């Protein structure tokens, strides 16, 4: 059975870069109100999202922000398979779904990976809510998750008859999603490797002025300060 270590109360964060280097997706997890809140960015779609989950990683609420401070889409479940919108409208077509799937981030695959108690070689099928960020179209698609080995999971989409194998770290967070994303920490790790005639590495941490990006930057600056990493801030007008 998969037993990923519990995350500490200080939470967890991750950044992924698309394989073409054009876009990034970030997520910051915080423990609040007896559950997890994930604040994330979707660089390819210039959007932000909030996912609220229980302590056992069951999705409870999903909010999507595109250009405004108010959410463009707000979905919630009662914990018994019934889904609805912020205004109370019952979304009957979503009933029975467990997870949310967003194309622009590997994080939505982390959620079932951490939650499903699968032995190596075992699988689980569930209905997933997929969301088109541009049109806000919501479609239910069945997917199969399989635990391949200690650091590999496979998910199969019945809608497209396609499968992807992803690599995960010791916390169940995706480190490599072929042809899509790779964790940024890998490229930083190459930079800090010991080598002859190298005594420092310079890293550029790029952010924007949107709401969630500013929040994530503040958290990273606190980490840099606590770790005593020297850093400076440069503002760029574009």
Answer with the residue of higher pLDDT: 103 or 211. Answer: 103
Q: What is the pTM of this model?
A: 0.77
DSSP character at residue 44: G
Domain positions in the chain are 15-201
**DSSP sequence for 119-136:** PTT-EEEEEEEEE-TTT-
Alpha carbon distance 152, 76 (integer Å)? 30
129, 101 in Cβ contact below 8 A?
yes
Reduce the DSSP state of residue 227 to 3 states and report it.
coil
**Residue 216 structure tokens:** 């994530």
Reduce the DSSP state of residue 93 to 3 states and report it.
helix
Q: pLDDT digits over 15-29, tens only?
A: 999 988 888 999 999
Phi first, then psi, for residue 51 (nearest 5°) are -120, 125
* 213-227 as b/e: b if 16+ CB within 10 A: beebbeebeeeeeee
Alpha carbon distance 38, 233 (integer Å)? 26
Give the H or E element holding residue 109: helix 107-115
Give the H or E element holding residue 73: strand 73-77
Q: Supply the pLDDT for residue 214.
A: 73
Q: Supply the pLDDT for residue 29.
A: 94
Alpha carbon distance 92, 201 (integer Å)? 53
Reduce the DSSP state of residue 47 to 3 states and report it.
strand
Alpha carbon distance 162, 144 (integer Å)? 11
117, 2 in Cβ contact below 8 A?
yes
Average pLDDT over residues 6-10: 85
**Model confidence at 61: pLDDT above 90:** yes
Helix and strand totals (H; E) in the chain: 3, 14
Answer with the residue of higher pLDDT: 222 or 79. Answer: 79
**DSSP sequence for 196-226:** TT-----------SSHHHHHHHHHHHHHHHH
Answer with the residue of higher pLDDT: 214 or 125. Answer: 125
**Model confidence at 114: pLDDT above 90:** yes
Alpha carbon distance 68, 47 (integer Å)? 10
Alpha carbon distance 189, 142 (integer Å)? 36
- Residue 200: HSE in the Cβ half-sphere, 13 Å Cα cutoff: 5
**Model confidence at 1: pLDDT above 70:** no
């Amino acid at each position: 059975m998969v037993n990923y270590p519990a995350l500490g109360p200080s939470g967890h964060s991750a950044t992924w870069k698309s394989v073409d280097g054009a876009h990034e997706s970030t997520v910051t997890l915080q423990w609040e109100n007896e559950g997890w809140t994930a604040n994330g960015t979707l660089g390819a779609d210039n959007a932000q999202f909030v996912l609220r989950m229980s302590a056992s990683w069951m999705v409870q609420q999903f909010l999507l922000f595109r250009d405004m401070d108010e959410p463009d889409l707000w979905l919630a479940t009662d914990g018994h398979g019934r889904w609805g919108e912020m205004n109370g409208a019952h979304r009957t077509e979503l009933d029975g779904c467990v997870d949310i799937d967003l194309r622009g981030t590997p994080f939505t695959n982390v959620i079932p990976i951490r939650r499903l108690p699968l032995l190596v070689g075992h699988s689980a099928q569930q209905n997933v809510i997929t969301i088109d960020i541009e049109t806000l179209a919501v479609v239910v698609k069945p997917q199969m998750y399989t635990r391949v080995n200690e650091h590999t999971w496979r998910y199969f989409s019945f809608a497209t008859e396609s499968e992807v194998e992803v690599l995960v770290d010791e916390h169940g967070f995706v480190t490599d999603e072929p042809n899509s994303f790779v964790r940024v920490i890998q490229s930083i790790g190459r930079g800090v490797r010991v080598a002859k005639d190298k005594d420092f590495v310079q890293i550029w941490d790029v952010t924007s002025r949107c709401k969630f990006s500013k929040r994530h930057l503040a958290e990273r600056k606190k980490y840099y300060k606590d770790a005593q990493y020297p850093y400076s801030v440069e503002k760029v007008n574009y």
